[in-house]
Amino acid sequence: MAASTSVSVAGFKGSLGKSSFNGGEDYAMLAAKSAPNVVRIGKPVRAQPMMKNVNEGKGVFAPLVVVTRQIVGKKRFNQLRGKAIALHSQVINEFCKAIGADGKQRQGLIRLAKKNGEKLGFLA
Domain carrying residue 103: 57-123
Question: What total number of domains does the chain contain?
Answer: 1
Residue 38 has pLDDT above 90, yes or no: no
pLDDT of residue 94: 93
Helices (DSSP H) in 13-73: which residue ranges? 27-34, 62-72
Per the domain annotation, does 93 fall within a domain? yes
> For 60-115, how does the pLDDT look when each residue is reduced to its tens digit (9 = 90+)?
999 999 999 999 999 999 999 999 999 998 999 999 999 999 989 999 998 999 89
> Which tops the pLDDT comparison, 40 or 75?
75
Please report, rounded to a whole number, the percentage of residues in the chain having pLDDT higher than 90. Answer: 35
pLDDT of residue 19: 46
Asked if residue 87 lies in contact with residue 95, where contact means CB atoms within 8 angstroms, the answer is no
Angle, in degrees to the nearest 10, between helices 103-120 and 74-99:
140
Per the domain annotation, does 108 fall within a domain? yes
